[in-house]
Amino acid sequence: MKNINSSKKNRIREGSKTANVIIYSIAFLLALICLYPMYYVLILSLSQPRAAATMQVYWVPKGFYLGGYEKIFGDKLLWSSYLNTIMYAAAEMLLMLLTCSTFAYALSVKTLKHRKLVNAFILIPMYFSGGTIPLFMMVMKYGLYNTPFSLILVGGYSIWYIILIKSYFSTIPETLREAAKIDGASHYQIWLDVYLPVAKPILAVIALYTIVNVWNSWFNAALFLADQKIQPLQLYLRRVLVQDAVDLTVELATAEEMRAAQENAISNSQLKYTVIIVSSLPMLVAYPFFQKYFVKGVMLGSLKE
Amino acid sequence: MPGRDLTKRRGRFTKEDWSVYSFLIPGAILIILFSYIPMFGLVMAFQNYRAGDNIFDLANAKWAGLKYFKQYLGSIYFTRTFTNTLRLSVLNLIFGFTMPIVFALLLNEVRNLRFKKSVQTISYLPHFISTVVVAGMVISFTDMNGLINNFLSLFGVQAQEWLVKAKYFPTIYTITNVWKGFGFGSILYFSSLSSIDPQMYEAARIDGANRWQQIRYITLPSLAFIIAVQLVMKTGQILQSNRDLILLLYRSSNATMSDTISTYIYRQGIEGGKYSLATAVGLFSSAISLVLTFITNTISNKISGYGLW
């Protein structure tokens, strides 16, 4: 009797076997659903063109073929777009850190004059904006249209990040600032040598969020940048993957390849899949290592969202 | 010294004050240029703006009054874009909002830590695939000989071009949005779950509570607060559909279901050059959004004492 009782208790503690099986299977299935589309794209990009053309490749590549990658690596426009994206990401990140950390520093100074006014100044744009068209018109008016500065300046500040950094700064004891002042440090020195080093964790979070955001977004670039030479990667991808404006088989082929292509035709969709892998891989390889920062960012954001 | 007294008076700027204010300059310049001045650009909505006009030359502006608001509200596009925006947002609210919670609750029941961590990390993956690539995958997978048709043929479903049929658009959009966001969206709930005191479960088990009862009486109540706040915030944003994804999946063939306020603004304004009309539509929708945010925030303050202001 006592034995039965204790085993029953144990079962409750562990949960029933069937429930566990169901829970683990659903979790596994969800992980598979997240992973499989990208995996499918990967194996198709690596398969023999003939097998890939039938799209009947599901679990492992059929044959092995790197011809698609060879072709894609030869696409100059892809690489220049790639380079543009890296440049935009670096520039926007640095500008974001500068504008947000300086503004937040001023807010953290207790004696800031007209604090209510400054607070209102940053709160109003959080709830109301001019919208797409007026922003577009102003970028034109400022003469920034079709220059890299349009994208960098528009993406170089965030009121939300100002508030995040400010709340982080406010955890720094005021005595630290006063001690530095007594030593004759200016506000600039205090900002640079005391506040920024202490706030490194939040700055890292914001830097990563900004980079991922630049990496992913395309809308502003489509608005402001008409010249393909200065467009970021995502606009190249939009032309190739979404608008079907570029037939990669034609775009990347020489005349003799065109003839050879008749026999061993690599399909446009296989090349598209190759482009997806080439363009997404860096982020997909990197994110598991950075995920703790994103987790931190989400938690900080939830403080007041 | 009287001079010294003056500088110490409140409201007078000392050298110290100016040096603090200098820190506001870089951010303030960008906020003024790209947030505030465009707000004043909204006067375009009340003008007959032609390319090359000076918007701020109010004396010589060709005023249109409410013409463009009336034009939008009276056109067939108003009903279409408004219902489509609402439909897609409500679908996203129902599924996109609940999936992260369900997922977090499910993983919370997984005891094997390594398995749990792996599934968590994999579930963030779609968040790091760009919207353009996701749209490209959707277009390719829903194609005639794409993955979806190949899979569905196993169940004897007739192959078809899913994306060009308007009636499937809300489903495709919702699935894509949920797929891209549920893992990353659950981070918030994971962190709340990890702060629950394990002793509560211990005590419940000793009292004989089964797994369902533990979820029902311990896990869910501890998430209730954050769920309520999130729900209120998401409801306030109901007119802000996922423009970036919709624009990429938009086809003239599925427009009856995919044309939303934001795609309409883009087509009319950027592609069609009807700046005044597009600005009027934008102003109309952000005015409603502002009211919605205000209402939902008041509700949030009432129920939880927690809001945006």
CA pseudo-torsion sign B71, B76, B77, B83:
positive
> Are the beta carbons of A124 and B4 closer than 8 angstroms?
no
Q: Is the pLDDT of residue A8 over 80?
A: no
Convert the pLDDT of each residue in B256-292 to its tens digit. Answer: 999 999 999 999 998 888 999 999 999 999 999 888 8
What span, in angstroms and rounded, lies between the C-alpha atoms of B27 and B258?
37
Asked whether the beta carbons of residue B106 and residue A129 sit closer than 8 angstroms, the reply is no
- What pLDDT does residue B86 have? 92
Residue of A nearest to B185 (CA): A298
Interface of B with A in 8-67 (CB under 8 A): 11, 13, 16-17, 19-21, 23-28, 30-31, 33-42, 44, 55
Asked whether the beta carbons of residue B208 and residue A12 sit closer than 8 angstroms, the reply is yes
Question: On the CB side of A2, how many CA atoms lie within 13 Å of its CA?
Answer: 0
Tokens, residue A225 = 């940048």
CA distances from B261 to A35, B238, B269 (A): 33, 12, 12
Asked whether the beta carbons of residue A299 and residue B139 sit closer than 8 angstroms, the reply is no
Average pLDDT over every residue of B95-113? 93
Question: A236 at the B interface (CB within 8 A)?
Answer: no
Choose the closest CB to A291 out of B121, B137, B141.
B121
Question: How many Cβ pairs closer than 8 A exist between chain A and B?
Answer: 256
Asked whether the beta carbons of residue B188 and residue A216 sit closer than 8 angstroms, the reply is no
A266-275, A277-286, B292-301 — which one is most confidently predicted on average? A277-286
> In chain B, which residues have their Cβ closer than 8 Å to the Cβ of A110?
none
Tell me the percentage of chain B whose pLDDT exceeds 90. 50
Calculate how close chain A gets to B275, using CA atoms only, in Å.
7
What span, in angstroms and rounded, lies between the C-alpha atoms of A173 and A171?
6
Q: Is the pLDDT of residue A39 over 90?
A: yes
Asked whether the beta carbons of residue A138 and residue B34 sit closer than 8 angstroms, the reply is yes
CB neighbour class for B36 (10 Å; exposed up to 12, middle 13-18, buried from 19): middle
Residue with tokens 């994110």: A287
The model's pTM: 0.88
- What pLDDT does residue B158 have? 87
Question: A34 at the B interface (CB within 8 A)?
Answer: yes
Q: Give the start-to-end residue ranges of the domains of chain A.
A: 2-65, 70-302
Question: What is the DSSP secondary structure assignment for residue B96, as one 8-state letter?
Answer: I
Question: What is the DSSP secondary structure assignment for residue B10, as one 8-state letter?
Answer: T
CA distances from A5 to A16, B202, B211 (A): 15, 17, 18
Choose the closest CB to A23 out of B109, B187, B233.
B109
What span, in angstroms and rounded, lies between the C-alpha atoms of B201 and B211?
10
- Amino acid (1-letter code) at residue A262: Q
Beta bridge partners of B63: B47
Asked whether the beta carbons of residue A31 and residue B129 sit closer than 8 angstroms, the reply is no
Neighbours of B32 (CB within 10 A): 12
Asked whether the beta carbons of residue A26 and residue B106 sit closer than 8 angstroms, the reply is yes
Length of chain A: 305
Tokens, residue B57 = 């030359």
What span, in angstroms and rounded, lies between the C-alpha atoms of B285 and B78?
11
Residue of B nearest to A131 (CA): B282
Question: B100 at the A interface (CB within 8 A)?
Answer: no
Domains and CATH numbers, chain B: 75-304 (1.10.3720.10)
3-state DSSP of A10-44: HHHHHCCHHHHHHHHHHHHHHHHHHHHHHHHHHHH
Calculate how close chain A gets to B1, using CA atoms only, in Å.
23
- What pLDDT does residue B306 have? 57
Q: Which of A43, A77, A53 is nearest to A251 (CA)?
A: A77
Asked whether the beta carbons of residue B11 and residue A113 sit closer than 8 angstroms, the reply is yes
> In chain A, which residues have their Cβ closer than 8 Å to the Cβ of B293?
127
Length of chain B: 309
Alpha helices per DSSP H over B61-130:
67-74, 76-91, 97-108, 113-124
Interface of A with B in 119-178 (CB under 8 A): 121-123, 125, 127-138, 142, 153-154, 156-157, 159, 162
Residue of B nearest to A237 (CA): B132
> Are the beta carbons of B290 and A128 closer than 8 angstroms?
yes
What span, in angstroms and rounded, lies between the C-alpha atoms of B30 and B28?
5
Question: B213 at the A interface (CB within 8 A)?
Answer: no
Q: Is the pLDDT of residue A264 over 70?
A: no
What span, in angstroms and rounded, lies between the C-alpha atoms of A35 and A288?
13
Q: Which of B297, B220, B284 is nearest to B72 (CA)?
A: B284
Beta bridge partners of B47: B63
ipTM metric: 0.87
DSSP per position, chain A = -HHHHHHHHHHHHH--HHHHHHHHHHHHHHHHHHHHHHHHHHHHHHS-HHHHHTT---SS-SS---HHHHHHHT-HHHHHHHHHHHHHHHHHHHHHHHHHHHHHHHHH-TT-TTHHHHHHHHHHHHH----HHHHHHHHHHTT-TTSHHHHHHHTS--HHHHHHHHHHHTTS-HHHHHHHHHTT--HHHHIIIIIHHHTHHHHHHHHHHHHHHHHH--HHHHHH---GGG--HHHHHIIIIIS----HHHHT--HHHHHHHHHSPPPHHHHHHHHHHHHHHHHHHHHHHHHHHHHHHHHHHHTT-
Q: Backbone phi, then psi, for B47, in 5-degree steps?
A: -115, 160
Q: Is the pLDDT of residue A304 over 60?
A: no
Question: On the CB side of A191, how many CA atoms lie within 13 Å of its CA?
Answer: 23
Architecture field, domain A70-302: Orthogonal Bundle (1.10)
Average pLDDT over every residue of B178-203? 90
Q: Is the pLDDT of residue A13 over 90?
A: no
What span, in angstroms and rounded, lies between the C-alpha atoms of B250 and B260?
10
Largest separation between any pair of C-alpha atoms in chain B = 95
Name the more confident of B183 and B60.
B183
Name the more confident of B25 and A52.
B25
Q: Is the pLDDT of residue A260 over 60?
A: no
Question: B122 at the A interface (CB within 8 A)?
Answer: yes
3-state helix, strand, coil in chain B (%, to 5): 75, 0, 25
Question: B273 at the A interface (CB within 8 A)?
Answer: no
Convert the pLDDT of each residue in A176-227 to its tens digit. Answer: 999 999 999 999 999 999 999 999 989 999 999 999 999 989 999 999 999 9
Q: Is A261 left (phi over 0), alpha (psi -120 to 50) or beta?
A: alpha
Calculate how close chain B gets to A225, using CA atoms only, in Å.
13
> In chain B, which residues have their Cβ closer than 8 Å to the Cβ of A269?
140, 143
> Are the beta carbons of A223 and A132 closer than 8 angstroms?
yes
Choose the closest CB to B136 out of A19, A105, A242.
A242
Asked whether the beta carbons of residue A135 and residue B38 sit closer than 8 angstroms, the reply is yes
